[in-house]
Amino acid sequence: MEHSLTVWLTGLSGAGKSTLAAELKHRLAAAGERCCVLDGDAVRAGINRDLGFGPQDRHENIRRVAEIARLMNDAGLLVVAAFISPYRADRRMAAEIIGGERFIEAYLDAPLEVCERRDPKGLYRRARAGEIREFTGVSAPYEAPEAPGIVLHTASSGIADCASQLLRLVQARLRGRSASEST
Amino acid sequence: MEHSLTVWLTGLSGAGKSTLAAELKHRLAAAGERCCVLDGDAVRAGINRDLGFGPQDRHENIRRVAEIARLMNDAGLLVVAAFISPYRADRRMAAEIIGGERFIEAYLDAPLEVCERRDPKGLYRRARAGEIREFTGVSAPYEAPEAPGIVLHTASSGIADCASQLLRLVQARLRGRSASEST
């Protein structure tokens, strides 16, 4: 059960969550660790395609993802979850479902201006044009974590650097646990 | 990706799905294979606790479980799913979501009379008393598979024997795949 860990990436659209999740998965694989990436876009195209972006549906989106992460962690699979997850209460619920000792909250802290300038999917442009309602950072709130496990400054640091920081934290958690399990 | 396989156990309540899933997991573990059991009761207490037992909710139950199995298979984790899953169309949908080449439909074929006599959770008694509506086999249909991957006669055979049959099939599928992958 040494891989029963969920790394939860939270931050604005365009902060680099999916990119960082893919890079972390790649590095974990290189280190011989298998993981599953749960990504907002993929999950919303699959299991959660019945859900929208209002607060209630965002809550249900996060609840289901947390339950899936818990099942995967129970099966010994490391999970990297990449979700805007803008509400503190929803992230707290996710930590409770998954279990606090298995949960690392990683806050991708990038200024809205930077994310909006990147606008990798053209969503900010559409949100400003009123074509997307309840868009986080524009017409819906983002509640930054108050005490995240790690803060990654994805605007000033490169993805490679952020992935290194995150990998070190994950490996320290996995090592720390196996050390405490062997005592 | 050699463990991208979902063994889908379908059958009446009391046919032995959960018991067989646990036994298969145990044997797979003994053979060095890790798997995740997705069980109707557990899933309905967790991710699908918002769903009931009408046809629409049963459909949504199976849809979500299939999406979870797909994510787990994508991550290289073998899945054993234990669900009454009474409708052919829903099981077909599950196979489509997961991918036919990854899906083994195992039909636990036990007569209703035997399942009702066992009644491990007292549900048949409650269904006959009208306390549970839309109970499969009593007040809701069970559509038996027409061409399952394997039929297990859990009334006439013991769980150990059924688990052996199922394990042989799973191992043959895993071996067959690695053989074809290496050519």
Contact (CB, 8 A) for B73 and B98: yes
How far does B32 lie from chain A, in Å, by closest CA?
13
Helix axes B159-181, B17-30, angle to 10 degrees: 50
Domain residue limits at B61: 6-164
> Could you tell me the pLDDT band of residue A1, with boundaries at 50, 70 and 90?
very low
Q: Is A85 among the catalytic positions?
A: yes
pLDDT, residue B135, reads 95
Among the partner residues B34, B60, B71, nearest to A68 by beta-carbon distance: B71
CB atoms within 10 A of CB A89: 11
> What is the chain A residue with the closest CA to B68?
A68
Cα Rg of chain B, angstroms: 16
Domain for residue B81, yes or no? Answer: yes
Task: Establish if A102 belongs to a structural domain.
Answer: yes
Cα distance between residue A132 and residue A18, in whole Å: 21
DSSP state of B100: G
Domain assignment present for residue A1? The answer is no
Cβ atoms < 10 Å from Cβ of B171? 14
> What's the number of domains chain A is made of?
1
Q: Which of A32-46, A84-98, B139-153 has the lowest mean pLDDT?
A: A32-46
Mean pLDDT (whole number) for A5-18: 97
- The span from the CA of B7 to the CA of B79, in Å, is 6
Q: What part of A 24-63 touches B (C-beta under 8 Å)?
A: 34-36, 38, 46-47, 50, 60, 63
So what's the pLDDT on residue B92?
A: 98
* Amino acid present at A76: G
* Confidence band of B32 (pLDDT split at 50, 70, 90): confident
Phi first, then psi, for residue A105 (nearest 5°) are -90, 115
Confidence category of residue B1, pLDDT binned at 50, 70, 90: very low
Per-residue CA distances from A145 to A35, A105, A111 (Å): 24, 8, 14
Alpha-carbon gap, residue B130 to A78, rounded angstroms = 44
Q: Is the pLDDT of residue A61 over 80?
A: yes
Q: What ipTM was predicted for this assembly?
A: 0.87
- pTM of the predicted protein model: 0.91
pLDDT, residue B181, reads 57
Which residues of chain A make contact with B34, given a CB cutoff of 8 A?
75-76
> Choosing from A13, A18, A85, A182, which is the catalytic residue?
A85
- Chain centroid to Cα A76, Å, comes to 19
User: Following DSSP, what letter does each residue of A138-150 receive, concatenated?
Assistant: TTB-----SS-SE
Q: H-type helices in B82-148, by residue range?
A: 88-98, 112-118, 123-128
Interface A-B, measured as beta-carbon pairs within 8 A, has a size of 51
Give residue A175's pLDDT band: very low, low, confident or very high (50, 70, 90): confident
Residue range A67-79: average pLDDT?
Answer: 94
Helix (H) or strand (E) run with residue A10 in it: strand A6-10
Report yes or no on B183 lying in a domain: no
The CATH code of the domain that includes B91 is: 3.40.50.300
Please state, for a pLDDT cut of 90, what percent of chain B lies above it: 88
Indicate whether B33 pLDDT > 90.
no
* CA atoms of B141 and A138, how far apart (whole Å): 49
At residue B177, does pLDDT exceed 80? no
Tens of pLDDT, residue by residue over A97-129, are 999 999 999 999 999 999 999 999 999 999 999
Supply the pLDDT for residue A2: 61
Asked whether the beta carbons of residue A46 and residue B72 sit closer than 8 angstroms, the reply is no
**B153: amino acid identity, one letter:** H
Find, among B93, B132, B114, the residue nearest to B11 by Cα: B114
The 8-class DSSP code of residue A178 comes to: H
Ordered strands of the A78-82 beta sheet: A35-39, A78-82, A6-10, A103-108, A150-152
CB atoms within 10 A of CB A80: 27
- Contact partners, residue A163, CB within 8 Å, separation at least 6: A20, A23, A24, A27
Neighbours of A50 (CB within 10 A): 12
Position A183 in a domain? no
Please classify residue A119 by burial: count the beta carbons closer than 10 Å to its beta carbon, then call 0-12 exposed, 13-18 middle and 19+ buried: middle
How far is A75 from chain B, CA to nearest CA, in Å? 5
Q: Which two tokens stand for residue B17?
A: 């799905």
Query: Average pLDDT for residues B35-45, to the nearest whole number?
Result: 93
Q: Is A70 contained in some domain?
A: yes
